[in-house]
Structure 1
Amino acid sequence: MILASPPFWMHPAAAVAALAYGLAAVTGARMGEVNARRLLGLAWAAHALALLGLLAGPARFGFAPAMSVTAWLVVTAYVVERQIFPQLKARWAMGGLGAVAVAMAWLFPGTLLHEQASAWLPLHWALGLSAYGMFGAAVIHAWMMTRTERNIRLGQEADSGLPLLTLEKLTFRFVTAGFMLLTATLVAGALFGETLYGQGRGQWRWDHKTTFALLSWLTFAVLLIGRSQWGWRGRRAVRVLYIGASLLLLSYAGSRFVLEILLGRAG
Structure 2
Amino acid sequence: MDIFLALTAALLYFAALLQIIPGLSGPNQIPARSVFLSASGALVLHAYLLSDLILSGGGQNLSILNVASLISFIIAAITTGLMFRMRIWVLLPVVYSFSAINLTAATLLPGAFITHLEAHPEVLIHISLALFSYSTLMIATLYAIQLAWLDHQLKNKKKLVMNPNLPPLMAVERQLFNIILIGEVLLTLTLLTGLVFVQDMIAQGKAHKAVLSAMAWVVYGVLLWGHYQSGWRGRRVIWISIVGAFLLTLAYFGSRFVREVIIAG
- Please classify the TM superposition score into its range, dividing by the shorter chain length: 0.7 to 0.9
Q: TM-score, normalised by structure 2?
A: 0.85
Q: Percent sequence identity over matched residues? A: 25
Which aligned segments of 4 or more residues in structure 1 are displaced greater than 3 angstroms?
9-13, 26-32, 107-110, 114-117
Cα deviation 1:10-59 (Å, max 9, x = unaligned): 44432222221123224555697133331111112211222222232332
Counterpart in 1 of 2:188?
A: 183
- For the residues of structure 1 that align with 2:88 and 2:202, how far apart are their CA atoms? 43
- 1:101-116 equivalences under 5 Å are 101-115=102-116
Out of 131, 134, 140, the position equivalent to 1:132 is: 134
Q: Tell me if the contact between 1:11 and 1:50 (Cα under 8 Å) persists in the aligned partners.
A: no
- For the residues of structure 1 that align with 2:209 and 2:106, how far apart are their CA atoms? 20
Kindly report the root-mean-square deviation, in angstroms, between the aligned alpha carbons of the 2 structures.
Answer: 2.3
Q: TM-score, normalised by structure 1?
A: 0.84
Out of 126, 148, 151, the position equivalent to 1:149 is: 151
- For the residues of structure 1 that align with 2:176 and 2:78, how far apart are their CA atoms? 12
- For the residues of structure 1 that align with 2:147 and 2:113, how far apart are their CA atoms? 40
Give the Å deviation of 1:146. Answer: 0.8
Q: Tell me if the contact between 1:25 and 1:94 (Cα under 8 Å) persists in the aligned partners.
A: no
- For the residues of structure 1 that align with 2:75 and 2:127, how far apart are their CA atoms? 17
Counterpart in 1 of 2:231?
A: 231
Counterpart in 1 of 2:27?
A: none
Cα deviation 1:84-130 (Å, max 9, x = unaligned): 13x43233223212112212322444423234862332221110000
- 1:194-205 equivalences under 5 Å are 194=199, 202=200, 204-205=202-203
Amino acid paired to 1:166: A
Is 1:100 paired with 2:95? no
Amino acid paired to 2:100: A
Counterpart in 2 of 1:199?
A: none
- For the residues of structure 2 that align with 1:237 and 1:243, how far apart are their CA atoms? 10
Q: Which runs of 5+ in 1 are unaligned?
A: 1-8, 195-201
Counterpart in 2 of 1:241?
A: 241
- For the residues of structure 2 that align with 1:150 and 1:121, how far apart are their CA atoms? 43
- 1:80-99 equivalences under 5 Å are 80-85=81-86, 87-90=87-90, 91-99=92-100
Amino acid paired to 2:55: A
Q: Which runs of 5+ in 2 are unaligned?
A: 24-29
Amino acid paired to 1:187: L
Amino acid paired to 2:88: L
Q: How many residues align?
A: 249
Amino acid paired to 2:171: T
Change (3 A) 1:82 1:247: same
